[in-house]
Amino acid sequence: MSRPAPKNSIINEIESALRGGTGKARINVLMRVTDLFVGGATKYTENETKLFDDVMGHLISNIEDGALVELSTRLASIANAPNSTVQSLARNDTVEISGPILTDSAQLSDGDLIEIAKTKSQAHLAKIAGRSHINERVTEALVDHGNADVANMVTTNSGARFSRLTLEKLVMRADGDERLAGSIFSRSDIAAPMFRRLLLQATDAMRLKLLEAAKPEQKESIKQVLDQISAQVGKGVGTPRNYAEAKVAVAAISQDTDLTRNKILEFADSNKTAEMIAALSALSGVPVDQIDRLFYASNCFGLIVLCKSITLEWITVCSVLAARSLMPDSPAFDDLQEQYSELSVQAALQLMHFWQGRQRVARNFLQATDV
């Protein structure tokens, strides 16, 4: 037989508290109801738990934060904790209240966590990033909406699972962010091409740190990539590309968004790469030198993020990729099309925002240390 839900001597106190008892009376009753539930949580039926939920839901309105923190802490680890109460606590704007639930409660679904990640503060996202197990959809939301600290925290969480698209986003965000690059590097689920990109993006100092921190079986692979990078540098980087004429040509049409979109396709198909890059810059508001970096990068992911952020049709993206000498029959092309389809415009805009921010920080640092 299941343990009875709250009744008898406590019922009168509950009714009195709900009729407008003092804050202290409501807290005392809430703590007694919580004690009663926690003491027999595993034995209560669904209906009995629902009764606790109704009582707690009434008691927690207009109650001081300290009591809510205690309630959240006590309910967080209970698998069958009263759901509506848990949901309310999880969405509280005060992270000291919501935190224990966000980090530990099994009552929250992936959908709940994603909604909270999209609407609450970075402190709330950090609590979610600390969960012992995080599914792919939730990690994607954290990477899309989280700041540098959240992105790094979820990356270092061994219980977090990442889709390939989300890992690509992380690698792009790591361009200029040495802490994140090191955290990604330490994961065991990073594919070789992403591993190579991390090294290509890294500064010489960061490459040395990665080599020193690598496991013995990784060191040889790292040395091989570093040798290839050194060989490329030894051939000379060449003079910076000049976009002055291209920017003048595009300036005449840049106020017409539809025409600029059409011109991107036309420039790409006509092998007018400089004009195409200038048009991408005009449409996105991203400086030409940064578009240049994305276009000539060793990987196309940043380029498709840019294209998605300005909502280019896939047929136009195909031409942009072809201008980069990536042919539609290339094995990588299908993967890029899949990633482009999965990538949301909002996520692309946010990712470009993060990436540009890191580029500014890196550029300012170089200017400050330039002698």
pLDDT tens per residue, range 199-208: 888 877 888 8
Q: Give dist(CA 185, CA 190) in Å, integer.
A: 7
What does the pLDDT average to over 87-98?
97
pLDDT tens per residue, range 247-274: 999 999 999 999 999 999 999 999 999 9
What does the pLDDT average to over 122-127?
98
Domain residues of the chain, as ranges? 1-108, 168-234, 244-369
Q: Would you state the pLDDT for residue 5?
A: 52
Q: Give dist(CA 336, CA 301) in Å, integer.
A: 7
What does the pLDDT average to over 304-318?
96
Local structure of 134: helix, strand or coil: strand
pLDDT tens per residue, range 211-246: 777 777 777 777 777 777 666 554 444 567 899 999
Nearest to 122 by CA among 141, 101, 106, 137: 141
21 vs 320, higher pLDDT: 320
In the chain, the percentage of residues whose pLDDT exceeds 70 is: 87
Q: In 10 A of CB 208, how many CB atoms?
A: 12
Q: Give dist(CA 112, CA 102) in Å, integer.
A: 10
Q: Give dist(CA 206, CA 209) in Å, integer.
A: 5
Mean pLDDT of all residues belonging to the chain: 87
Local structure of 143: helix, strand or coil: helix
Confidence of residue 371 (pLDDT cuts 50, 70, 90): very low
Record the tokens describing residue 219, joined without a space. Answer: 């060191």
* C-alpha distances out from residue 1 to 4, 43, 45, 48, 246, Å: 9, 8, 10, 12, 81
- DSSP assigned state of 42: G
For the chain, give the number of residues: 371
What CA dihedral angle connects 29, 34, 37 and 42, to 10 degrees?
180
Which helix (H) or strand (E) segment holds residue 34: the answer is helix 23-40
Contact 69, 97 (CB under 8 A): yes
Task: Give the largest Cα separation in the chain, rounded.
Answer: 86
pLDDT tens per residue, range 61-82: 878 999 999 999 999 999 999 9
Confidence of residue 301 (pLDDT cuts 50, 70, 90): very high
Confidence of residue 21 (pLDDT cuts 50, 70, 90): low
Which of 108-117, 203-212, 329-338: highest mean pLDDT? Answer: 108-117
- Written as one string, the DSSP assignment of 161-173 is ---HHHHHHHHHH
pLDDT tens per residue, range 135-148: 999 999 999 999 99
What does the pLDDT average to over 343-347?
95
Q: Would you state the pLDDT for residue 22?
A: 57
